[in-house]
A and B are shown apart, each in its own frame.
Chain A
Amino acid sequence: MNKNSKFDTASIRRAVDAQKGVKAPKKYLIGRLWKYLYHYKWLLLLAAVLTISSNLFSLVGPTLSGRAIDAIELGKGKVDFSTVFFYASLMICFYILSSVMSYVLSIIMIKLSRSVVYRMRRDVFDRLTRLPVSFFDRHQTGEIISIISYDIDTINASLSTDLLHIATSLITVVGSLVMMLTICPPLVLVFTVTIPASILFTRYMSKRVRPLYRKRSIKLGELNGYIEEITSGLKTIKAYNREDVMINRFDEHNLDAVDAYFETEYYGRVTGPSVNFINNISLALVSVFGSLLYLAGGISLGDISSFVLYSRKFSGPINEFANIISELQSAFAAAERVFRLMDELPEPEDAPDALTLTDVRGDVRFDHVTFGYENGKTILRDLNFTADSGKLIAIVGPTGAGKTTIINLLMRFYDINEGSITVDGHDIRDVTRASLRRAYTMVLQDTWLFHGTIFENIAYGKDGATLAEVEAAAKAAKIDGYIKRLPNGYNTVLSDNGVNISKGQKQLLTIARAMLIDSKMLILDEATSNVDTQTERKIQAAMRSMMQGKTCFVIAHRLSTIRDADLILVMRDGQIVETGTHDSLIAANGFYASLYRSQFDREEDLKAVQ
């Protein structure tokens, strides 16, 4: 089992908090971000060593040039050229070395930050694949995309570089402080006013700025959500000539997004100049007090100038610090969103003693099943039926009667509220989801094909399917002819819209995919609704052989296709109102009979016209 998918009570609590919109504490965020960096601790350490040594290196340069200048200083006609050349060539060597070092450092930093990005993306995607179906019914695709692209990138833009900056800044600050204390302790008193002022101000600003960054992430996510939604409907919008309306709505989202960016930028960029201002004030104070102290005889002129030099060295990093802290806020705001997604509750783990379904017979039983998608709103009420192995179960009823819901429950996309569903006598909550789902083959009305070759799409359900098998399935599904005529045949890539493929052809491809899968139970939800009658008849034989010996659940509107069903469940408003075979239901003259007759009437009517 993957370690990530295990979760303790703490992570449940966090996830619950996250859903309530409770903000994650900063310490928790830092800890979690650190975990990602810690994974690359050796790289991190190497980077730190290189940074420090290159900082120390930077002190060598001036010394060397100083020596060279000493040799020049002898004056006109007396310049010691051999010394000058010696140090000049040393300098060149040294600069080459230092450039190489800094390049190595930057490569390490790229490696580090990209590795962290890689892990984060992987972890987010990993969680996505483990989330229950209901999550995707609730969340916009574009917002999820925004998290995996923008938010993760934002974290990294600051995290890896900023951390190193902070580390090196700290070294400089401490060093300078020590130097200043040795020169003139009373003057350092000036900083006891200005440094706390800087710190307080930075803290205040970062508190103010963080919600702004949070807003920026949210607004950008919403914008992405809108873009993703609208681009999926481009053709319809064109057909209705609604481009302008959609653009106007887009403008609102766009305005929100750029405003949020503007605010973070504006307020975020107040910190830098402000802290710089405080530093400048302290510089002025140092000059004034230093000068007064000098007049009072407390300090030498040379000391003032070194003190000032160090204090400037000192304020530089503090300034940078303030900038970095404000930038880190954007990383925190983004991290909140990334971790919230990672903390979404996955499908509950299979019970530790969960059974793996093997050698499935295909006996399915619904026993007093009650279910609703939302609390308090029941869709199915006290549902009972038995589907014996190899039987054909048809589910009919008006649209919206809850037929698709039964499929969601069979596949355990949702868990029932009351009652039990059993397969071969095992409650499906006691078997592993993977083995339960593998026991079914499913063909849905909404076809799903992915960016990949036709071969890959058909072979998707069967690992290691050969081309011959795929071709046989495609032939049985009567789609082989179409595929062969494509420029690259089975290797044609199905891109988003590039290949002209009709909905009916997509259904045939998914049927071919299903034909390759060998499982004991079959679900057909309007599997051929967009396939024309001729083709449907042509694939009938293949469909029959696919259904042979399997427990089949069929949803269909063409009542004729289900006349042979062993059991027909007639649904209406979430209830099964009638059950029986076609003949017995017709004889009972109830709801099914009236549904059937309405169809029958139409055809009768048609006959009359002829």
Chain B
Amino acid sequence: MKKIIHYLRPYIPLMCLGLTIKFIGTIMDLALPWILSYIIDDVVPRGSKTGIFLWGGAMILCAAVSIVGNISANRIAAKVSRNTTERIRHDLFARTMRLSCSQSDRFTLPSLISRLTSDTYNVHHMFSMMQRLGVRAPILLVGGICVTITLEPVLTLVLVAVLPLLALVVWLVSRHVIPLYTLVQNAIDKIVRKVQENITGVRVIKALSKSDYERARFDEINKDAVKREQRAGMVTNITSPVMNLLLNGGLTAVIVVGAFRVNAGLTQPGKIIAFLSYFTIILNAMMMVTRIFVNLSKGTASARRIAEVLEAEPDLAVTERNHVNNGYHIEFDNVTFSYNKTEPNISGLSFGLKRGQTLGIIGATGSGKTTIVSLLMRFYDPDSGVVRIDGDDIRGIPDDELRSRFGVVLQNDFLMADTILENIRFGRDISDEDIIRAAEVAQADAFIREKEDGYNYVLTGMGTNLSGGQKQRLLIARALAGNPEILILDDSSSALDYKTDAALRSALRRSCEGVTKVIIAQRVSSIRSADLIIMLDDGQVIGMGTHSELMKNCESYREIAEAQMGDGME
């Protein structure tokens, strides 16, 4: 919460201005009945028409100041909450983009989405509400108490004695309510996830006729969310009746104490009557405070969820440069890594690759092929061992510098609802010519030109209007367009037919001579000509060398190669 309040700091002068204007407006508003009673009590009995018009005019003036003051104060308040929310949301998004992979795994995507949307919205609402009601209530409260003190200090003390109790109630309730609203937001996360799942899996769900089942699952989540919302609401709403009760109890005490004082001749009954009418004002102010409070607890729960992300420590810190002269472009030195820190997913991996060489990685599903890429790109840090690029431990290279060296196609890669051109450019400073050249190498140019708008053809979200092979070629074009030092293709030609795949490979060979390549593949033919081939099994290297070496020394490799070669012939 402190973190979020911090965002208001630059606007303190503006807020003060707004609050002052609001203060003046509110005072004007409160002055109106006072003038009115003055007219009736003092001016009218004198029978002065000019007096009546004069004070009537004063009322209109007050009303005018009040409207101008209130509107402009609202404007300032709206502006402050707008700017604050803009910055919070910006920072939250920026932080989200820079979370390490293990951190975003931990938060989970649906939760990050709802933090960015529903939680920032709640905070926006809280800021604007607080500024709107936060002035009037205290003015009325303090003003009411001041007036009652001048009337009857002892009776006021009786009433004020209730205030600590009120504070206690607010404190107790808010302690219980904020965690409840956190639970509510967690339930919203689940709703987001279920909707998301159902949209991405629409074909499977329909194919298996599981719509009823999905509806039932959503119903559970929905019921759970509603239950939590109700629980939070029920606790929050205790505040208002309890406060009412306490204040009215105080009022009764005032009457009883008043009775004794009148009886002792210390005060007049008239004062008690006046006291009671001001008490109504105080009561109204307290009601406003409860409304603020409800909003505040919901906003606080959201603010905490936002702060959790903002305060997540950058866990892949950049260490000092650590250079070794080894002559390798890429080097893995005895690297071991495990996702869940129990069983290693990669153990004791060592290899070196010179600039311009090609590394082929092959192995069974789940054997750790992609993990190597994740470690090389520093999505995760190895548990032990060192990954070096150009002799530098990659932990000593700033992320932007490190990643600017790569061109990469990941599994399940990401396409945006944008033009083909923009999807290849991907926000980088790359000329159209370079993009077209990259698309040509990636064997994508031909199919792109067949689209009605060519490179300006707009993809749907996730690229659902392209075939699997078209998507992969587009992604390869993206990887090539930045003229990377290192090209990583993670099983990125699996949807290509052999002819296109072969054409792609020879085009890559021709145009990316100085580029170090890391290619993960299922087909031996895709990596056959690599300078170094690693055969993985269950995180262990079971073969390493060139194709012909592996054909000689590695039985599993030979089996695969022969099986696949046999594929092509009778």
Tell me whether A595 and B203 are in contact (CB under 8 A): no
- Is B168 on the interface with A (CB-CB < 8 A)? no
- Is B244 on the interface with A (CB-CB < 8 A)? yes
Closest residue to B367 on the A side, CB-wise?
A: A532
A401-417 contacts to B, CB under 8 A, are 401, 403-404, 411, 413
Tell me whether A133 and B97 are in contact (CB under 8 A): no
Tell me whether A301 and B44 are in contact (CB under 8 A): yes
Q: Which of B67, B522, B564 lies in contact with A277, CB distance below 8 A?
A: B67
Tell me whether A150 and B117 are in contact (CB under 8 A): yes
Tell me whether A288 and B208 are in contact (CB under 8 A): no
Proximity bits, B403-438, A CB within 8 Å = 1, else 0? 110101011111011000000001110000000000
A132-174 contacts to B, CB under 8 A, are 133, 136-138, 140-142, 144-146, 148-150
B529-546 contacts to A, CB under 8 A, are 529
Contact segment of B7-15, B140-148, B221-229, B328-336: B221-229
Report the bound CA distance from A179 to B206 in whole Å: 65
Contact segment of B152-160, B173-181, B261-269, B388-396: B261-269
Report the bound CA distance from A496 to B249 in whole Å: 54
Greatest chain B CB density within 10 A among A78, A230, A249, A604 is at: A230
Q: Which of A148, A246, A530 lies in contact with B411, CB distance below 8 A?
A: A530
A-side contacts of B206, CB under 8 Å? 133, 411, 413, 433, 437
Proximity bits, B551-570, A CB within 8 Å = 1, else 0? 10000100110011111110
- Is A548 on the interface with B (CB-CB < 8 A)? no
How many chain B residues have a CB neighbour from A under 8 Å? 192
Proximity bits, A257-277, B CB within 8 Å = 1, else 0? 111011001100110111011
A-side contacts of B403, CB under 8 Å? 238-241
- Is B171 on the interface with A (CB-CB < 8 A)? no
Tell me whether A292 and B49 are in contact (CB under 8 A): yes
Tell me whether B400 and A599 are in contact (CB under 8 A): no
- Is B326 on the interface with A (CB-CB < 8 A)? no
- Is A560 on the interface with B (CB-CB < 8 A)? yes
Tell me whether A95 and B44 are in contact (CB under 8 A): no
Report the bound CA distance from A507 to B55 in whole Å: 84
Q: Which of B44, B495, B522, B528 lies in contact with A295, CB distance below 8 A?
A: B44
Proximity bits, B79-118, A CB within 8 Å = 1, else 0? 1011101100110011011110100111011101110111
- Is A349 on the interface with B (CB-CB < 8 A)? no
Contact segment of B230-238, B300-308, B350-358: B230-238
* Minimum Cβ distance to chain B for residue A223 (Å): 7
- Is A186 on the interface with B (CB-CB < 8 A)? no
Report the bound CA distance from A396 to B258 in whole Å: 97
Report the bound CA distance from A71 to B500 in whole Å: 102
A210-250 contacts to B, CB under 8 A, are 220, 223-224, 227-243, 245-247, 249-250
Q: A231-B113, A280-B66, A558-B567 are in contact. Are A141 and B255 (CB under 8 A)?
A: no
Contact segment of B190-198, B317-325, B511-519: B190-198
- Is B509 on the interface with A (CB-CB < 8 A)? no
- Is B18 on the interface with A (CB-CB < 8 A)? no
- Is B440 on the interface with A (CB-CB < 8 A)? no
Tell me whether A95 and B377 are in contact (CB under 8 A): no
Report the bound CA distance from A287 to B34 in whole Å: 12
- Is B150 on the interface with A (CB-CB < 8 A)? no
The total of interchain contacts (Cβ-Cβ below 8 angstroms) comes to 514
Closest residue to B205 on the A side, CB-wise?
A: A129
Closest residue to B71 on the A side, CB-wise?
A: A273
A-side contacts of B43, CB under 8 Å? 291
- Is A505 on the interface with B (CB-CB < 8 A)? yes
Tell me whether A227 and B565 are in contact (CB under 8 A): no
Report the bound CA distance from A495 to B110 in whole Å: 11
Q: A125-B215, A284-B59 are in contact. Are A136 and B202 (CB under 8 A)?
A: yes
Report the bound CA distance from A110 to B203 in whole Å: 37
Closest residue to A397 on the B side, CB-wise?
A: B497
Q: Which of A133, A232, A444, A503 lies in contact with B414, CB distance below 8 A?
A: A232
Report the bound CA distance from A517 to B63 in whole Å: 75
Tell me whether A399 and B496 are in contact (CB under 8 A): yes
B-side contacts of A126, CB under 8 Å? 215
Tell me whether A99 and B56 are in contact (CB under 8 A): no
B-side contacts of A46, CB under 8 Å? none
Tell me whether B464 and A114 are in contact (CB under 8 A): no
Tell me whether A79 and B498 are in contact (CB under 8 A): no
Report the bound CA distance from A133 to B195 in whole Å: 14
- Is A281 on the interface with B (CB-CB < 8 A)? yes
Closest residue to B497 on the A side, CB-wise?
A: A557
Tell me whether A88 and B269 are in contact (CB under 8 A): no
- Is A482 on the interface with B (CB-CB < 8 A)? yes
- Is A398 on the interface with B (CB-CB < 8 A)? yes
A-side contacts of B410, CB under 8 Å? 235-236, 239
- Is A451 on the interface with B (CB-CB < 8 A)? yes
B-side contacts of A99, CB under 8 Å? 241-242, 244-245
A182-196 contacts to B, CB under 8 A, are none
Report the bound CA distance from A504 to B428 in whole Å: 31
Tell me whether A241 and B67 are in contact (CB under 8 A): no
B-side contacts of A137, CB under 8 Å? 460, 464-465
* Minimum Cβ distance to chain A for residue B12 (Å): 19
The bracket for how many chain A residues form the interface is: 35 or more
Closest residue to A239 on the B side, CB-wise?
A: B408
Q: Which of B113, B209, B529 lies in contact with A227, CB distance below 8 A?
A: B113
* Minimum Cβ distance to chain A for residue B54 (Å): 10
- Is B282 on the interface with A (CB-CB < 8 A)? no
- Is B485 on the interface with A (CB-CB < 8 A)? no
B-side contacts of A285, CB under 8 Å? 56
Q: Which of B101, B207, B447 lies in contact with A437, CB distance below 8 A?
A: B207
Closest residue to A462 on the B side, CB-wise?
A: B208
- Is A389 on the interface with B (CB-CB < 8 A)? no
- Is A535 on the interface with B (CB-CB < 8 A)? yes
B115-131 contacts to A, CB under 8 A, are 116-118, 121, 124, 128
Tell me whether A232 and B39 are in contact (CB under 8 A): no
Tell me whether A141 and B196 are in contact (CB under 8 A): yes
Closest residue to A557 on the B side, CB-wise?
A: B497
A-side contacts of B377, CB under 8 Å? 238-239
Tell me whether B259 and A72 are in contact (CB under 8 A): yes
B-side contacts of A227, CB under 8 Å? 93, 113, 116-117
Proximity bits, A507-543, B CB within 8 Å = 1, else 0? 1100000000100000000100111111101000000
Q: A140-B417, A261-B82 are in contact. Are A440 and B113 (CB under 8 A)?
A: no
Q: Which of B45, B525, B548 lies in contact with A610, CB distance below 8 A?
A: B548
Proximity bits, B28-43, A CB within 8 Å = 1, else 0? 0100110110011001
A-side contacts of B230, CB under 8 Å? 110-111, 114
* Minimum Cβ distance to chain A for residue B340 (Å): 7
* Minimum Cβ distance to chain B for residue A143 (Å): 10
Q: Which of A220, A236, A287, A526 lies in contact with B413, CB distance below 8 A?
A: A236
- Is A559 on the interface with B (CB-CB < 8 A)? yes
Tell me whether A231 and B78 are in contact (CB under 8 A): no
- Is A251 on the interface with B (CB-CB < 8 A)? yes
* Minimum Cβ distance to chain A for residue B66 (Å): 7
- Is A579 on the interface with B (CB-CB < 8 A)? no
Q: A129-B211, A399-B497 are in contact. Are A262 and B79 (CB under 8 A)?
A: yes
- Is B167 on the interface with A (CB-CB < 8 A)? no
B349-406 contacts to A, CB under 8 A, are 362-367, 369-371, 377, 379, 399-400, 403-404, 406
Report the bound CA distance from A73 to B78 in whole Å: 50
Tell me whether A291 and B52 are in contact (CB under 8 A): yes
A-side contacts of B245, CB under 8 Å? 95-96, 99
* Minimum Cβ distance to chain B for residue A187 (Å): 13
B-side contacts of A224, CB under 8 Å? 113, 117
Extra 19 A-B pairs, beta carbons < 8 Å, given A68-B259, A529-B468: A71-B259, A85-B256, A88-B252, A118-B223, A121-B218, A140-B417, A234-B104, A254-B90, A269-B78, A277-B66, A399-B497, A400-B469, A413-B203, A461-B208, A500-B345, A507-B365, A533-B523, A557-B494, A595-B497
Q: What are 5 A-B pairs with beta-carbon distances under 8 A?
A: A76-B262, A95-B245, A114-B226, A245-B428, A276-B66
Q: Which 7 A-B pairs have the closest CB atoms?
A: A399-B469, A233-B414, A245-B427, A504-B365, A603-B568, A280-B63, A560-B567
